[in-house]
Amino acid sequence: MNASISAPAQPAGYPHFHYRDGALCAEDVPLQLLADRLGTPLYVYSRAALRAAWESYRDAIGDRDVLVCYGMKANSNLAVLKEFARLGAGFDIVSGGELQRVLAVGADPARIVFSGVGKQAWEMRKALETDVKCFNVESEAELNLLSDVATSMGRTARVSLRVNPDVDAGTHPYISTGLKENKFGVAIADAPRVYQAAASLPGIAVTGVDCHIGSQITDVSPYLDALDKLLDLIDGLAAAGIHIEHLDLGGGLGIRYTDETPLRPAALLDQVYARLDARGLSHLKLIMEPGRSLVGNAGVLLTTVQFLKHAEARNFAIVDAAMNDLIRPTLYDAWHGVLPVHPRGGATQEYDVVGPVCESGDWLAKQRALAVERGDVLTIESTGAYGMVMAGNYNTRPRPAEVMVDGAQFHVIRQRETVEDLMRGESTLP
Ligand code: LLP
């Protein structure tokens, strides 16, 4: 994964990040200008790239009855949420906090599904008050609590069971969610019994079947394996008098980080509908919950080289971004491309790109061929998903600012945090 790889000549993913006259730009804005004006580390997103990602789903769907609920955990900045709400997206939320965010941008509750393995009573209450489309319930204990909460409010919760189909999505163990050793969902063998229980509980209306098999999936076969199992379940439930209206086929399409060939939404949907048609089930409403594939390639992280260090075993480019700003490399051994904003001619050297945090695990990229000098701005590619949302404050490092480029304009969509922000709410002992 970390073998020496030269920086690719052109950025990965969407064409909205591109070199123009030797300067890397987001749409029509040079990234150096953003670094100069707003400082680094800085997350930069392209509005056109967000829209292009959305359109790849919309075009694939055509006139089929598919609801795309953006898996907002991937990037929950209000500007990003508002953009998807305007485009007609629904939202997949996993907490009361995420619910508050989507309501703040005026999301339609009839397009919100509530997932997550540990929903608390207050979160259920908020979601019931909002009248979200569906709760994706992950255990019998959760089902019982939801029934109690809904009944106490005189409401009915529409419910899907998140079924664990035990398929291997062929992805990183930390982002695989549909295996029987994962904490998620109800085992498929138990699902008929739990559905019967759900159907008899007060305050619960069974409306769907849900699964989520993992993230960064590049092959269609795990989806089809899961689909076959879910369709068998739906047939069995119908025979038992439980009628399912929608099928939520979760599991996130992959994006291009290096040389992956992402599965396109159109390829996935065509094959899914071929199965649904073959089984006479194409009347089911389909829900999808993409996160990464809507935002991942639409963002980059800018960082400035502070020092170059030529140690005995390695060369290090010490930059001003760190594991607290982007944890994916050290957490998943994830590969993100590194591109200079202004490439220098001349010989490259092999560098580890590392941050200032006091951990050996604080690295962003390893063994990359780069021609860099102190003060150069580097771009860490494909960081629109699971970048800023997973950022933290270790070493009392304020989190980066975020900016959205729109053609030749740019808008700061989150101010850079300050140390005062970090200390707010703390107090010393009397
Ligand atoms: N819905 C549910 C219930 C999920 O658990 C997830 C992601 C999604 C939707 C969105 O999936 P996506 O389209 O993004 O694959 N932090 C990891 C990814 C964790 C994904 C967890 N669940 C990473 O940086 O790779």
| pLDDT tens digits, 148-177 | 999 999 999 999 999 999 887 776 666 566
**How far, in Å, CA of 220 to CA of 216, rounded?**
12
9 pLDDT tier (thresholds 50, 70, 90): low
What secondary structure letter does DSSP report for 342? S
* Radius of gyration from C-alpha coordinates of the chain: 23
Hey, what are 42's tokens?
């800085």
The DSSP H or E segment spanning 37 is helix 31-38
* Of 25, 134, 211, 358, catalytic: 358
Cβ of 289 below 6 Å from ligand 1 = yes
4 pLDDT tier (thresholds 50, 70, 90): very low
Q: Do 109 and 133 contact (CB within 8 A), yes or no?
A: yes
179 pLDDT tier (thresholds 50, 70, 90): low
**Residue boundaries of the structural domains of the chain:** 17-39+298-423, 48-292
Contacts for 411-414: CB closer than 8 Å, 24+ residues apart: 411/79, 412/38, 413/45, 413/77, 413/78, 413/79, 413/80, 414/77, 414/388
Residue nearest to atom 24 of ligand 1 (CA): 386
Q: What is the pLDDT of residue 176?
A: 61
Q: How far is the CA of 220 from the centre of ligand 1 (A)?
A: 17
Cβ of 74 below 6 Å from ligand 1 = yes
Beta bridge partners, 82, equal none
Closest CA to 326 of 348, 371, 296, 290: 296
What secondary structure letter does DSSP report for 15? T
17-39+298-423 falls under which CATH superfamily?
Lyase, Ornithine Decarboxylase; Chain A, domain 1 (2.40.37.10)
Cβ of 92 below 6 Å from ligand 1 = yes
**How far, in Å, CA of 223 to CA of 220, rounded?**
6
Cβ of 212 below 6 Å from ligand 1 = yes
1 pLDDT tier (thresholds 50, 70, 90): very low
Closest CA to 292 of 213, 384, 390, 221: 384
Hey, what are 347's tokens?
């010989």
Q: How far is the CA of 72 from the centre of ligand 1 (A)?
A: 9
Q: Annotated binding site for substrate, which residues?
A: 292, 328, 332, 359, 386
CA distances from 292 to 13, 298, 303, 427 (A): 12, 10, 22, 38
To the question of domain 48-292 being in CATH 3.20.20.10, the answer is yes
CA distances from 339 to 46, 82, 157, 358 (A): 17, 30, 49, 25
Q: Do 393 and 422 contact (CB within 8 A), yes or no?
A: yes
Q: In whole numbers, what is the pLDDT of the chain averaged over residues?
A: 94
Q: What is the pLDDT of residue 180?
A: 66
Q: Does position 8 have pLDDT exceeding 70, yes or no?
A: no
Cβ of 117 below 6 Å from ligand 1 = no
Q: Within a 10 A sphere around the Cβ of 414, how many other Cβ atoms?
A: 16
Ligand 1: which of 215, 268, 330 to mutate, judged by most atoms within 8 Å of the beta carbon?
215
Closest CA to 408 of 9, 16, 10: 16
From the alpha carbon of 334, which atom of ligand 1 is closest?
A: 25
User: What is the tens place of the pLDDT at every residue in 408-418?
Assistant: 999 999 999 99
Q: Does position 18 have pLDDT exceeding 50, yes or no?
A: yes
In total, the chain counts a number of residues equal to 430
From the alpha carbon of 216, which atom of ligand 1 is closest?
A: 15
Q: Do 340 and 372 contact (CB within 8 A), yes or no?
A: yes
Percent of the chain with pLDDT over 70: 94
Q: Annotated binding site, which residues?
A: 252, 289-292, 328, 332, 359, 386
Specify the 3-state DSSP secondary structure of 366.
strand
Q: Annotated binding site for pyridoxal 5'-phosphate, which residues?
A: 252, 289-292, 386
Rounded to an integer, the average pLDDT of 17-37 is 97
Ligand 1: which of 56, 73, 186, 219 to mutate, judged by most atoms within 8 Å of the beta carbon?
73
CA distances from 253 to 223, 263, 375 (A): 10, 6, 36
Q: Does position 196 have pLDDT exceeding 70, yes or no?
A: yes
DSSP string, 188-210: TTTHHHHHHHHHHSTTEEEEEEE
- Respond yes or no: is residue 358 known to be catalytic: yes
Residue 185: half-sphere exposure toward Cβ, Cα within 13 Å: 29
Q: Do 291 and 68 contact (CB within 8 A), yes or no?
A: no
Cβ of 366 below 6 Å from ligand 1 = no
Q: Do 8 and 369 contact (CB within 8 A), yes or no?
A: no
Q: How far is the CA of 295 from the centre of ligand 1 (A)?
A: 12
Q: What is the pLDDT of residue 168?
A: 76
Q: How far is the CA of 306 from the centre of ligand 1 (A)?
A: 33
DSSP string, 281-324: -TTSEEEE--SHHHHGGGEEEEEEEEEEEE-SS-EEEEES--TT
From the alpha carbon of 215, which atom of ligand 1 is closest?
A: 15
Q: Does position 20 have pLDDT exceeding 80, yes or no?
A: yes
Q: How far is the CA of 215 from the centre of ligand 1 (A)?
A: 5
User: What is the tens place of the pLDDT at every residue in 275-326?
Assistant: 999 999 989 999 999 999 999 999 999 999 999 999 899 999 999 999 999 9
Fold match, 17-39+298-423 / 48-292: no
Ligand 1: which of 292, 331, 383 to mutate, judged by most atoms within 8 Å of the beta carbon?
292
What secondary structure letter does DSSP report for 73? G
Q: How far is the CA of 321 from the centre of ligand 1 (A)?
A: 23
Q: How far is the CA of 340 from the centre of ligand 1 (A)?
A: 29
51 pLDDT tier (thresholds 50, 70, 90): very high
**How far, in Å, CA of 81 to CA of 70, rounded?**
9
From the alpha carbon of 94, which atom of ligand 1 is closest?
A: 3
Cβ of 90 below 6 Å from ligand 1 = no
**How far, in Å, CA of 299 to CA of 322, rounded?**
17
Cβ of 252 below 6 Å from ligand 1 = yes
Q: How far is the CA of 403 from the centre of ligand 1 (A)?
A: 23
Cβ of 119 below 6 Å from ligand 1 = no
